[in-house]
């Protein structure tokens, strides 16, 4: 099969053959139909989050099951699936507590040492950005707990966005922060994750949803996705603007990945308000909290994939999509070929796209 090989920061991707094994045990082999391009892939490509190379990036895929291992009962060839390419084990404390997004029991969903690798490139083992399968490849082979079956009439290009952007943004609002109806919300960053958080806030019934971005077209999109107010942070100080508008918000969300905007998320809160930092900051960065914010009982929390219970939340989001309450098609600015991956990263850097989605040829 063909895959996009990442060789290191500053080097273009190459598109080459990678060997992928047959599924065994609890594994499922999926033909990738679509994969969204997330800023976390770009952060890896730019070295902001260092990764081992060579590697295959991509973690927002959807596809069709081609074959299953002998112990798989819930999937069959022909099933349409979306993937969270970091399968949960289902039996560690975090999984049993209902937080499979925090599962770190990697060994339970990997092949045992000494087994053939799932993927090989130029004779050596290769993995994806999640340490497992990868979305920027024509096939994915991983543990069945990495996949969720979806109805056949949902377009796979749109469904792919549920693999990361949508579950992360909507989940950050509904699961991580548990925003109540009637509350006020500010979302910093109106890219794939931020627009999903704005949608989550609309679905949760927030009365005010303030979007902050530095790009006019993102702010226009934010309005279409449910923002009641927009603030252009390239023109005004967003903290002052939000405080002037609201006196402070109950919930704020950082969906960019910058220290400065993480701090701003804390500064715009009312006493007792909660900031949820979704963006991945540079690994050497630290978020500081001033003592008065602590005395005001402000809370700051992290967020991993929207605290998503993939098999519970993804079908719920699909139903909201089918009712027209969760916009997925509208998030896709460009449908591209795998070979256009580096162009998609450049377009993301220039702020030209809400989401690029790679469509694979069948
Ligand atoms: N925590 C998680 O589980 C998780 C999951 C997926 C992505 N992420 C992270 O979320 C972040 C956003 O990802 P994305 O795919 O939506 O990225 P994106 O590039 O699509 O969107 C980022 C947005 O931030 C805006 N922006 C940049 N600088 C700004 C500033 N100073 N003030 C206001 N707006 C600014 C950009 O114009 C853009 O619209 C990244 O850091 C990504 O790594 C985290
Ligand atoms: Zn992502
Ligand atoms: Zn687990």
The pLDDT tens digits for 301-311 are 999 999 999 99
User: Do 351 and 290 share a structural domain?
Assistant: no
> Does ligand 1 have an atom closer than 6 angstroms to the CB of 176?
no
What is the CATH classification number for the domain harbouring 243?
A: 3.40.50.720
Residue 36: helix, strand or coil by DSSP?
Answer: strand
User: Do 263 and 122 share a structural domain?
Assistant: no
User: Do 340 and 251 share a structural domain?
Assistant: no
Count of the separate structural domains present in the chain:
2
User: Do 216 and 123 share a structural domain?
Assistant: no
pLDDT value of residue 85: 84
* Statement: residue 77 has pLDDT above 90: yes
DSSP class of residue 81? E
User: Do 253 and 143 share a structural domain?
Assistant: no
User: Do 123 and 228 share a structural domain?
Assistant: no
What is the CATH classification number for the domain harbouring 60?
A: 3.90.180.10
Sorting pLDDT into bands at 50, 70 and 90, what band is 115? very high
For residues 44 and 129, the answer to whether their CB atoms sit within 8 Å is yes
In terms of residue numbers, what domain contains 190? 169-304
CA of 309 to the centre of ligand 3 (A): 11
Environment of ion ligand 3 (residues, CB < 5 A): 89, 92, 95, 103, 105
User: Do 180 and 115 share a structural domain?
Assistant: no
In a domain, 325, yes or no: no
Closest Cα to atom 38 of ligand 1: 191
User: Do 206 and 67 share a structural domain?
Assistant: no
User: Do 174 and 291 share a structural domain?
Assistant: yes
CA distance 230 to 261: 16
E strand or H helix at 121, and its extent? strand 119-121
CA of 39 to the centre of ligand 1 (A): 6
User: Do 355 and 253 share a structural domain?
Assistant: no
Mutate to test the pocket of ligand 1, among 35, 37, 40 (most ligand atoms within 8 A of CB): 40
pLDDT value of residue 120: 97
Mutate to test the pocket of ligand 1, among 85, 86, 193, 223 (most ligand atoms within 8 A of CB): 193
pLDDT value of residue 353: 95
In a domain, 291, yes or no: yes
In a domain, 323, yes or no: no
DSSP assignment string, 258-291: -HHHHHHHHHTEEEEEEEEE-S---TT------H
> Does ligand 1 have an atom closer than 6 angstroms to the CB of 262?
no
CA distances from 293 to 184, 269, 287, 314 (A): 18, 9, 13, 35
* Statement: residue 348 has pLDDT above 90: yes
User: Do 281 and 228 share a structural domain?
Assistant: yes
Mean pLDDT of 153-175: 97
Return the closest-CA partner of residue 274 out of 186, 213, 195, 208.
Answer: 186
In a domain, 245, yes or no: yes
Mutate to test the pocket of ligand 1, among 160, 164, 168, 189 (most ligand atoms within 8 A of CB): 189
Atom of ligand 1 nearest to the CA of 348: 19
Mean pLDDT of 81-103: 94
For residues 164 and 129, the answer to whether their CB atoms sit within 8 Å is no
pLDDT value of residue 167: 97
In a domain, 313, yes or no: no
Taking the CA of 220 as reference, the closest ligand is: 1
> Does ligand 1 have an atom closer than 6 angstroms to the CB of 256?
yes
CA of 56 to the centre of ligand 1 (A): 21
> Does ligand 1 have an atom closer than 6 angstroms to the CB of 212?
yes
Return the closest-CA partner of residue 54 out of 107, 105, 104, 119.
Answer: 119
Which domain-ending residue is among 258, 288, 304? 304
Integer-rounded Cα Rg, in Å, for the chain is 20
In a domain, 320, yes or no: no
Atom of ligand 1 nearest to the CA of 281: 41
User: Do 174 and 219 share a structural domain?
Assistant: yes
Sorting pLDDT into bands at 50, 70 and 90, what band is 362? low
In a domain, 327, yes or no: no
pLDDT value of residue 361: 84
In a domain, 220, yes or no: yes
In tens, the pLDDT along 165-218 reads 999 999 999 999 999 999 999 999 999 999 999 999 999 999 999 999 999 999
């Amino acid at each position: 099969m063909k895959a996009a090989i990442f060789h290191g920061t500053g080097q273009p991707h190459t598109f080459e053959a990678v060997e992928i094994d047959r599924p065994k045990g609890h594994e499922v082999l999926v033909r990738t139909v679509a994969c969204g391009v997330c800023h976390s892939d770009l952060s890896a490509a730019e070295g902001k989050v260092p990764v081992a190379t060579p590697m295959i990036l991509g973690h927002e895929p959807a596809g069709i099951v081609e074959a299953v291992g002998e112990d798989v009962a819930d999937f069959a060839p022909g099933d349409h699936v979306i993937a969270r390419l970091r399968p949960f084990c289902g039996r560690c404390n975090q999984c049993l507590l209902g937080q499979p997004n925090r599962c770190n029991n990697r060994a339970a969903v990997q092949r045992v040492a000494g087994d053939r690798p799932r993927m090989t490139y130029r004779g050596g083992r290769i993995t994806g950005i999640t340490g497992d399968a990868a979305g920027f490849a024509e096939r994915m082979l991983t543990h069945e707990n990495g996949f969720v079956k979806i109805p056949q009439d949902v377009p796979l290009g749109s469904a792919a966005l549920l693999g990361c952007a949508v579950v992360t943004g909507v989940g950050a609002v509904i699961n991580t922060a548990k925003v109540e109806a009637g509350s006020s919300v500010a979302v910093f960053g109106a890219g794939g994750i931020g627009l999903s958080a704005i949608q989550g806030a609309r679905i949760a019934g927030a009365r005010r949803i303030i979007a902050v971005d530095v790009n006019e077209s993102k702010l226009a999109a934010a309005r279409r996705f449910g923002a009641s107010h927009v603030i252009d942070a390239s023109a005004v100080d967003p903290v002052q603007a939000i405080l002037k508008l609201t006196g402070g918000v109950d919930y704020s969300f950082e969906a960019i990945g910058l220290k400065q905007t993480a701090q701003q998320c804390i500064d715009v809160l009312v006493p007792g308000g909660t900031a949820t930092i979704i963006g991945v900051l540079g690994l050497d960065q630290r978020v500081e909290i001033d003592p008065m914010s602590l005395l005001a009982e402000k809370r700051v929390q992290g967020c991993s994939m929207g605290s998503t219970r993939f098999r519970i939340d993804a079908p719920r989001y699909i139903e909201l999509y089918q009712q027209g309450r969760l916009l997925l098609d509208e998030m896709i600015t460009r449908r591209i070929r795998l070979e256009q991956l580096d162009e998609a990263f450049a377009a993301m850097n220039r702020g030209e796209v809400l989401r690029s989605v790679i469509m694979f040829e069948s």
